Amino acid sequence: MSATGSFLLFLLLWAVLLVGVLSIVVSTLRTGAPPMPSSPRVRRALLAMLPADTRGTVLDLGSGWGDVAFNLADHCPQARVVAYELSWLPWLFSRLRQRLFPRPNLTLLHGDFFAASFQDATCVVCYLSPGIMTRLAPRFAAELPEGARILSHTFGLRGWTPVRSVRLQDLYRTPVYLYEVPPRAPPRE
């Protein structure tokens, strides 16, 4: 390869890297949360709280690089796992991973999960900032069916009481929470 060709390839690689970093910065500014991977220990703790025979739709909100989504698809083969990610680079990475190592029960969506319906979900998994969790709490209460599970790590749902929680023996002493949507009060007449 000529020196000019090598230089053009170098510029192209830098441009791709710059676009990827900018996409993460823009989505982080837009959502207030960067796409952070969950550690293997956290993933194991989340899966331990979710029965392997889970059916229905499992939502992964803010799936980032896809580690939790792929683990959910493997752990719950009878469930339909739908993962939402707003940042282009992590979403594209997940799509490539799905292309190379397909999971038939996993759907990766690029988009804002605030525009999604939660009505059919049997479980929601999230690693989101406290502000986003606060915004989601009323939607969880209103849209998720009674008994639906909500799994979250690091940040809990303010005003909700977890049915189970663990604190991991990792560097951050990461908390992992399991919530269930309570029964709704009958309408007053």
Q: Which domain holds residue 160?
A: 40-180
Rounded distance between C-alpha atoms, residue 57 and residue 68, angstroms? 15
Query: Is residue 34 a part of any domain in this protein?
Result: no
CATH of the domain at 97: 3.40.50.150
Query: SS3 letters for 98-164?
Result: HHHCCCCCEEEEECCHHHCCCCCEEEEEECCCHHHHHHHHHHHHHHCCCCCEEEEECCCCCCCCCCE
106 domain-assigned: yes
* Residue-averaged pLDDT of the chain: 88
Q: Which residue has the higher pLDDT, 43 or 12?
A: 43
- Count structural domains, the chain: 1
Distance between CA atoms of residues 100 and 98, nearest Å: 5
Residue 71's SS3 state is: helix
Two structure tokens written together for 110 = 């690029």
Termini Cα distance of the chain: 80
Tell me if 5 is assigned to some domain: no
Q: What is the pLDDT of residue 21?
A: 64
**pLDDT band, residue 113 (cuts 50/70/90):** very high
- Name the pLDDT band for 19 (thresholds 50, 70, 90): low
